[in-house]
A and B are shown apart, each in its own frame.
Chain A
Amino acid sequence: MGLYDVKQEDILLHDLLDQPNLDSEASKVRDADRQRLLLYRDVLQRLEHYQEAAPGDLASRVMSGLPDRPPIRWTDRLRAIWPERRFRAVTGFAGALALLLVVAGVTFLWSRREPVLIPVVLDLYAPSARQVELVGTFSDWTRRGLRLKGPDAVGYWNIGLRLPPGRYEYTFLIDGLNRVPDDDGEGLRPDGLGYENSVIILNTGNGTFHPQPSVLSSDAYVTLSEDDSNLTTLPVQDRRQWQAILGRGIAAGLQGEELEAALLGLAAADVKPTEVQTILGPLFQDVQAGIYARHLLLKLQEAAFKRAPRETLHSIARARYDAFKGARKLLANTGHMASIQTEPALMCATAFALESGQDPSLLQEALRAGKGKPPGRVAAVIEAGEILHHAGLEPESLAPIMRGCLEKDLEKQEIKRLTQRIRRELQKGTDPKIIQHELWHRQACMRSSFTS
């Protein structure tokens, strides 16, 4: 065996010191190293022989301070019922499982909770009407007996609803014939059929939008009177073809009930299944159609309800389909791709704005300004832009307002109030430049008075 080089490998010295037969190992190292090793050995031997005796009365002092029995503490009691060490992994696993179940249960209950319902009262001045109904996206553009009460002494008809947050389009139907939009609503937008729909945007202040448009809650259905049981059966005529369309739609991932309701509406408007097949063809082929399928179906239902010419069905379906395609592209180009799944409101708002004829570059600018902002807030700005665009505000005035709303981080309710104020000013005929100039000044005053 070669000589140990203790100086180079200092740790080896300590390994040797830990050996029980240190003396025999010491003979194998170099003289100088051996001396060092023996020096360590001597010091450690002195240390090992070093003893200290406790004071003679230590034991008696300890014993005098002790209780008769070791106390039983709560940890000891717990330990008594706690299993042996080797079973602790099992109990730990059981505890983790129980915790997981509790968390899953709470999450499930949370997800199942009823969305917040926002009370809405809609009214219409129609003193000579015999009957006024409300029709819109919340009733799938069908007459479900949402009848307004009235007229009152002045001539107003009104209806009270409680709706989940979302964006709704609607119109009043007077005496079952005349469609009249609500001028007092939040805004108007073209329906693509030569008329206008009223738009109402309901949000919960700082809360998030639900995927829109939302369906009526069970509470809201209290106001409904007509029986919807016929929705479960397709038209007898051409039933096979209708069923084939339904089957394709469900296979493409569409909601069966929604599709069936839309098909019923189209069949009631005397649209042939072959035409429907042609219209819905792109929808069935698009794997990502899920988000906007409902909106396309709603548009078709709206067109059927409004007795739109058959040739128009193709164009409006195409327009909505293209609008959603364009919106997806815009969101992808402006860094909002992730929001498509998490916050469909932004994609819907962008698509509806495009469908209304808003300039894509204007939307692109707003989306870029809204990068990093909450998608729900960006959606609110785009919706406001759509309403103001339809109210007649030019793009050159609209762009700085939309940008300003985002830069100043206005809340949804503030954006809503701002939109209403601009609409009023536009109706009065105020110059858009003056509106824009005074806008932020007044906004700042309102904010400061609110905070003070």
Chain B
Amino acid sequence: MHPSDAALVEQCLKGQKNAFEAIVLRYQHRIYHMALIRMRDRCDADDLAQETFLQAYRHLRSYDPTRSFRNWLLSICANLGKNRLRRRARRREVHHRYPEAGGSSCTEDHSRMDLVAGLHNIPEKQRIALFLKHVEGLSYDEVAAVLKIGTSAAKMRVKRGRDQLVQYLSQP
């Protein structure tokens, strides 16, 4: 039986650093995925995921165990990603429109490439809302809490994201 997030956090706070490794292993793919959706660049996504876990560890004492650890982690990633995008906009860096070919990219089929291209065609705010809703499976209230916006704004972002994704993928 796997220990709960709250139990792992408690162990971390008691000085058992290895408990945090279990947390990282549990959430690394989700966080990395979210970072990639947000940053559209594998290097940046890797950095963002790493920074997310680092910040979570540093602020572990401020985590409220009565709330979802996953959502707390996602909100850290969302905030850090927002800051990184701002910095990138200030530096006017040219980023890759599509994710670079990674280790598994050779095996990705055409359909997957289309989906990724469609996702990256959506504005960042809607893209991240769509990810949280449909990939992470959060409710609208949870999406709103992670992004620190109202529920109606979260709904609107998801709706617009869906429309744009379908429109992109429906193009001949």
Q: A residues engaging B (CB < 8 A)?
A: 11, 14, 17, 39-40, 43-44, 46-48, 50-55, 58-59, 61-63, 65-73, 75-76, 79
Residue in chain B with minimal CB distance to A65: B54
**Cα–Cα, bound, A73→B62 (Å):** 10
A66 to B15, CA, bound (A): 12
Given A50-B115, A76-B61: A68 in contact with B17 (beta carbons within 8 A): yes
**Beyond A40-B162, A55-B46, A68-B15, 17 extra complex contacts between A and B, CB < 8 Å:** A14-B155, A17-B162, A44-B134, A54-B32, A54-B33, A59-B25, A59-B28, A62-B24, A62-B50, A63-B17, A63-B21, A66-B20, A66-B54, A71-B58, A72-B61, A73-B59, A76-B62
Within 8 Å by CB of B135, from A47, A65, A69, A71, lies A47
Complex CA gap A135/B28 in Å reads 93
In whole angstroms, how far apart are the Cα atoms of A48 and B25 in the complex?
21
Query: 10 interchain pairs (CB within 8 A)?
Result: A39-B166, A39-B170, A43-B166, A50-B116, A53-B32, A58-B28, A58-B32, A62-B24, A71-B58, A73-B59
Whole-angstrom CA separation of A322 from B165 in the bound complex: 84
A180–B136 CA distance with the chains assembled, in angstroms: 98
Report Cα–Cα, A84/B15, bound state, in Å.
24
Instruction: Kindly report which residue of chain A lies nearest to residue B21, judged by CB atoms.
Output: A63
- Top 3 nearest A-B pairs by Cβ distance? A54-B32, A70-B60, A52-B33
Chain A residues with Cβ below 8 Å from B15 are 68-69
A-side contacts of B46, CB under 8 Å: 54-55, 58
| B104 interface contact, C-beta 8 A | yes
Q: Which residues of chain B in 12-46 are interfacial with respect to chain A, using CB atoms and an 8 Å cutoff?
A: 12-13, 15, 17, 20-21, 24-25, 28-29, 31-33, 36, 46
The answer to whether B50 and A61 touch across the interface, beta carbons within 8 angstroms, is: yes
What is the chain B residue whose CB lies nearest that of A45? B134
Chain B proximity of A51: nearest CB distance (Å): 7
Closest residue of chain B to A76 (Cβ to Cβ) is B61
Q: Is B72 an interface residue (CB 8 A)?
A: no
Q: A40-B166, A44-B134, A65-B54 are in contact. Are A55 and B21 (CB under 8 A)?
A: no
- B134 near A47 with CB under 8 A, answer yes
**Cβ B134 vs Cβ A48 within 8 A:** yes
The answer to whether A63 touches B20 (Cβ under 8 A) is yes
Asked whether, in the complex, the Cβ of B104 is within 8 Å of the Cβ of A53, the reply is yes
Given A39-B166, A47-B115, A71-B58: A54 touches B49 (CB 8 Å cut-off): yes
Give Cα A76–Cα B58 distance, bound, in whole angstroms. 11
Kindly list chain B residues whose C-beta atoms are within 8 Å of the C-beta of A66. Answer: 17, 20, 54, 57
Chain B residues in 8 Å Cβ range of A71 = 58
Give the docked Cα–Cα distance between A71 and B57 (Å).
8
Interface size class of B (residues with CB under 8 A): 35 or more
Residues on A with beta carbons closer than 8 Å to the beta carbon of B13:
69-70
B159 interfacial by beta-carbon distance below 8 Å: yes
B119 contact set on A, CB distance < 8 A: 47, 50
Q: How far is the CB of A234 from chain B (nearest CB, A)?
A: 74
* B interface residues (Cβ-Cβ under 8 A, vs A): 12-13, 15, 17, 20-21, 24-25, 28-29, 31-33, 36, 46, 49-50, 53-54, 57-62, 103-104, 111-112, 115-116, 119, 130, 134-135, 137, 155, 158-159, 162, 165-166, 169-170
Complex Cα–Cα for A58 and B28 (A): 7
**In the complex, what's the smallest C-beta–C-beta distance from B52 to chain A, in angstroms?**
9
| CB-defined contacts of B170 to chain A, threshold 8 Å | 39
Which B residues are in CB contact (< 8 Å) with A73?
58-59, 61
Name the B residues within 8 Å of A58 (CB-CB).
Answer: 24, 28, 32, 46, 49-50
Report how far A79 CA is from B59 CA in the complex, Å.
12
Q: B169: which A residues are within 8 A, CB to CB?
A: 43
CA separation between A34 and B162, bound complex, in Å?
16
Complex-state Cα separation, A33 to B160, whole angstroms: 18
Residues of A close to B61: CB separation below 8 A: 70, 72-73, 76, 79
A58 to B166, CA, bound (A): 33
A14's closest neighbor in chain B, by CB?
B159
Pair A75/B62 contact, Cβ less than 8 Å: yes
**Closest residue on chain A to residue B130 by CB atoms:** A47
Q: Are A14 and B32 in contact (CB under 8 A)?
A: no
**Contact between B29 and A53 (Cβ–Cβ < 8 Å)?**
yes
Chain B residues positioned under 8 Å from A17 (CB to CB): 162
> Cα distance A66–B61 when bound, in Å?
15
Q: Which of A43, A53, A70 has the most CB of B within 10 A?
A: A70
Q: Say which residue of B25, B36, B59, B158 sits within 8 Å of A52 (CB atoms).
A: B36
Kindly list chain A residues whose C-beta atoms are within 8 Å of the C-beta of B36.
52
Nearest residue in B to A52 (C-beta to C-beta)?
Answer: B33
Cα-based distance from A43 to B111 in the complex (angstroms): 10
A40 contacts which chain B residues (CB < 8 A)?
Answer: 162, 166
The contact of B54 among A48, A51, A62, by CB within 8 Å, is A62
CA A17 to CA B94, docked complex, whole Å? 36
Residues of B within 8 A of A68 (CB): 15, 17
Given the known interface contacts A46-B115, A47-B135, A58-B50, the answer about A70 and B57 at a Cβ–Cβ threshold of 8 Å is yes
